Amino acid sequence: MSTLSTDVLVIGGGATGVGVAWDAALRGLDVVLVDRHDLAQGTSGRFHGLLHSGGRYAVKDPQAARECVAENRILRRVAADCIEDTGGLFVTTPWDDPGYADRFAAGCAETGVRCEEVQPSQALRGEPRLNPRISRAFRVPDASIDVWKTVWAMSHGAQQRGARILPYHEVVTIDRSGDVVGGAVARDARSGDELRIEARVTVNATGAWAGRVAQMAGIEGVRVLPGRGIMIAMNHRLVNTVVNRCQMPTDGDIIVPIRTVSVIGTTDQHTDDPDDHTVPQEEVDRMLDEGERLVPGFRRARALRVWTGVRPLFEDAKADSTATRDVTRAHALLDHEQRDGVRGLLTITGGKLTTYRLMAQETVDAVCRQLGESRPCRTETEPLPGSESGEHYRLGERLARKEAELRGEQLICECELVPRSKLERAIAQTGSTDLDDIRRQLRLGMGPCQGGFCTYRATGILHERDGLRALEADASLLAFLQERWKGVWPVLYGDQLRQARLDEWIFQGVLGVERLPTAPETAGAGGASGAGGASGAGGASGLAPREAP
C-alpha cells in the first residue's frame, strides 16, 4: 500500500471541502483532498444555483441570513467570474399572507439584508411574465452562481500551490490510534488500489454523509438530517431576476435564472439515505403548479429535466425532530477533541453554498489551532483563478465570442457553445474518460437536446484522443446517456417528449446503442435505457404521449 503524508487531509470534494483545501493551501499548509466521486458531484452540484442575499432567512433563521449577507458581498469580489448579478425580487402573490411582507421588511432591516420596496408595476416592467396580481414587491441582492466553475477554480488554485486533489478515492478506513486520528485509507475506484494518507489533522467535510464518516472514526452523535429536494429546469429563462414568493420558505417558492435556463426549487423531505435521489411524481406536479402561481403559463413552458439534492442539516443529537424545514441552515463546526476527546479530527457540515467560504475559513482556523500555528486567512481578499478582473459573468458572453469568429473551430455542443478545443483541453486536464465528469466542467449536453447531438461527437473525440478501446468508449457513451435519462423521464410531456423521441431515433435507430457490446454489462444500472430504451423507469420507446404532469 502506498503512503502519502500531509498536514491536512480533507474528506469531501464539494464546495466546502474544496474551499477548505483552497484556504489551507493559501496559508501554506500541505493538503490532500479525497472524494469518492468527482468534485461537486454531491450536494454542491445538485442545487438551484442561488447566491443568497439572506432575504430567504431574514424572518425564520436570522443567523443564517446574516452569514449570507456577509458572504454574498465577499463572493461577488473573489468569485466574480462565477456569478451573474441577476438581482432578486420577493413578491406577494394572491396565495401569500399579505401581513408577511411587513415582517419580511423588518427582518431584512434587522439582519442587514439590503432591501428596497418597489411598486408592483415597476417589478412587472422588469419581469413582464410575473403574475400581474402581485400586491407587493421587494428588491434584494440575490444572484446566481455556477458552482462547478467555482469549485474547479478553487481546485486549480489549490493545486497550483501544491495541494493534491484525488477524486474517485473513497475513504474505507479512518486511522485512529487511541484518542488520536492520524489520517485515513482511501481506495481508488478506478484501479482498486488502496492509499494510506497520514495527516496531522483530518477534516470531515462530507456534508450529508458527515455522520457516517464520523462513525468510521468511532464517534457517535453527529446527527445530520438529510433533506431531499427536487428542482426542475425549464428550457429557457422565464425570468431574468431571481424571484421568490414573499412568505415563509416552502416548496416551489423560488425561480432562479441560471445560465440559459430557469430553475424552480425546491421541495424538502426528510430521508434516511443521503444517496436517495427519488423523484416522486406528486412533487413534480406540485412544483409545476407552484411555478404557475409565480409565472402564469409556467406549465406550458418546456420542462427540461428534474434532479434532486440532499441538504446536510445538522441538529443536536438529543433532538428528536425530523422536520427538515425547521432545522437551521447555519453551519456547524465540530472539534472532536473538545466534543469527544478525539484529537486530529474536525467535522464541518450544514450551511449553504453561499457560506462555503466562511465555513472553510472557520475550519482552517481550527486546523491551525490544533497544529499550534498562526496562519491568517486570505480567502476574503484573494480572487479565485479566473476572477482576477472582478467582472461578473454576463449572459451572452459565449455567443458574442462565437459570433466574432463565425468561421472558427468546430462546435461540439451547439446548445452550450462548447468548441472542440475546449473539450479536448478538459479531457486532457481531468484525465477522465467519464463524459459526465467533463459535463460538469463544460455543461456538455445540458442544453435543450440533453446530449442528443453532442454526445456521440464527444465520444468520438474521447476515443480518438485517449486511445480508448471501442468497448470503453461505448461504455462511457452509455453511462452518460443513462445519467441524462434519469432527469428527463419524470417530465416527458409536450416538447420534451418529442425531443426524447428524436434522441431515441438518433441513438437507437441510427447508432443502435442497445446493440453495442457493452449494453448487457450496463443494463443492470439502466444501461441503454439512458438513450431512451425501454426500462422499468419508462424508457422512451415504451412511452405514449401523456398530459402534462
Q: For residue 413, which amino acid is it?
A: C
Best CA proximity match to 435, nearest among 414, 410, 456, 411: 456
Instruction: Please check whether residues 425 and 303 belong to one and the same domain.
Output: no
Domain's final residue, options 317, 334, 368:
317
Distance CA 40, CA 12 (A): 9
Indicate if 123 and 255 belong to the same structural domain: yes
pLDDT of 207 over the 90 cut: yes
The pLDDT tens digits for 255-295 are 999 988 999 988 888 888 999 899 999 999 999 999 999 99
Of 296, 317, 338, which residue sits at a domain end?
317
Flag the least confident range among 157-161, 206-210, 240-244, 522-526: 522-526
Query: What does the pLDDT average to over 376-402?
Result: 91
pLDDT at 102: 98
Count CB neighbours of 361 within 10 A.
Answer: 19
Residue 3: inside a domain = no
Which is more confidently placed, 276 or 323? 276
Domain count, the chain: 2
Would residue 69 count as lying in a domain?
no
Strand 164-166 versus strand 31-34 pairing type = parallel
Q: What is the structure's pLDDT at 493?
A: 84
Query: Does the pLDDT of residue 91 top 50, yes or no?
Result: yes
Q: What percent of the chain has pLDDT over 90?
A: 64
Residue 355 covered by a domain = no
CATH number at residue 97: 3.30.9.10
267 lies in some domain: yes
Look at residue 122 and tell me if it is in a domain.
yes
Q: What does the pLDDT look like over 326-371, one tens digit per residue?
A: 444 578 899 999 999 999 999 999 989 999 999 999 999 999 999 9
Amino acid letter, residue 496: Q
Give me the domain span that covers residue 438. Answer: 397-542
Task: Put the strands of the sheet holding 143-145 in their side by side order.
Answer: 50-51, 143-145, 83-84
**pLDDT > 70 in the chain, percent:** 91
Q: What are phi and psi of 140, to 5 degrees?
A: -140, 160
**pLDDT surpassing 50 at residue 540:** no
Domain assignment present for 392? no
In a domain, 234, yes or no: yes
341: Cβ–Cβ under 8 A, 6 or more apart, which residues?
179
Among 285, 317, 349, identify where a domain stops: 317
Distance of CA 211 to the CA centre of its chain: 20
138 and 271 assigned to the same domain: yes
Question: For residues 432 and 74, which has the higher predicted lDDT (pLDDT)?
Answer: 74
Amino acid, single-letter form, for residue 419: P
In a domain, 100, yes or no: yes
Amino acid 518: pLDDT: 60
pTM surpassing 0.75? yes
One domain for residues 246 and 104: yes
**Mean pLDDT, residues 397-425 taken together:** 84
Residues 122, 248, single domain; the answer is yes
What confidence score (pLDDT) does residue 526 get? 33
Question: Residues 414, 506: one domain?
Answer: yes
Q: What is the DSSP letter of 260?
A: T
Q: Check: CB of residue 6 under 8 Å from CB of residue 199.
A: yes
Q: Are residues 139 and 237 in the same domain?
A: yes
